[in-house]
Amino acid sequence: MIKEAIEKIISLGEVGERLINGRMYSVGGGQISGIWPPKAETLVINTLTGILDYGPEKGTMVHIVDHKTVQVIDEQYSDAWLTRSVHLKAVHESPVFRFGEFYDVENFIIAMQSMFVQDDTTALILKVVGNVKDEGVSNFSDDGVTQKVTAKTGISIVGSVAVPNPVTLRPYRTFMEIDQPASTFVFRMKGGQGEQPKCALFEADGRMWRLEAIKTIKEWLKYKLPNEIPIIA
């Protein structure tokens, strides 16, 4: 019946607005399109704390979209088009380590120190990488604080340091208010004569850390927000 009504209106070539089955449509030029009610622009923030500051009220719920996106939306449909208003969206933003991609030694050291929670494992990896000799161009020993340079040929590591594989690390990948989820990575180095040595980390946990991050976000919000605010993850 709705289809017949729409086809009838179009065939008449009328211009204007029509209410069909509780929904408003714009008609003109042989076409018909829905008219959605106006909505306020979504407020975008970058922290979970901002959700608490906003103060979700009864009638809204918190939707954890993924490990880096959380939004406050209407609990019920808000109009005849069965849509929900998104009042607030929290989006985590920070530099992310490029897993599966080889870095030169200097940039790898910087990334390890700035994009990961520091612990014994990061210290061990830095100890290995910081003593790599790039002999095709130069020899250097770099522990992230001081650097010494000499000249030779080939690629080698000063001393012998065993690095277990896979390694368990906690990169900064979700909101800073919660503990960063740990996951496993395969650490690899490569380089040959006349080449700069390079280092890489490859993900080895099937990205299960994302589920852990979502679970931790939900627990954090559940503890902080009033009990009457539903949290969907």
Residues 21-72 pLDDT 10s = 777 777 776 677 776 677 778 999 999 999 999 999 999 999 999 999 999 9
Distance between CA atoms of residues 68 and 65, nearest Å = 8
85 versus 174: the higher-pLDDT residue is 174
Binned at pLDDT 50, 70 and 90, residue 16 comes out as confident
pLDDT of residue 205: 87
| DSSP-assigned letters across all residues of 22-73 | TEEEEEETTEEEE-PPP-PPPEEES-SHHHHHH---TTEEEEEEETTEEEEE
Lowest mean pLDDT among 124-128, 174-178, 191-195, 198-202: 191-195
Lowest mean pLDDT among 26-35, 199-208, 222-231: 26-35
User: To the nearest whole percent, how much of the chain has pLDDT over 90?
Assistant: 51
pLDDT of residue 151: 36
| DSSP-assigned letters across all residues of 25-37 | EEEETTEEEE-PP
Strand pairing class (43-45; 60-66):
unpaired
User: To the nearest whole percent, how much of the chain has pLDDT over 70?
Assistant: 75
**Mean of the per-residue pLDDT values for the chain?**
81
Nearest to 133 by CA among 112, 111, 157: 157
Write down the H helix ranges in the chain.
Answer: 2-12, 49-54, 105-114, 120-129, 209-224
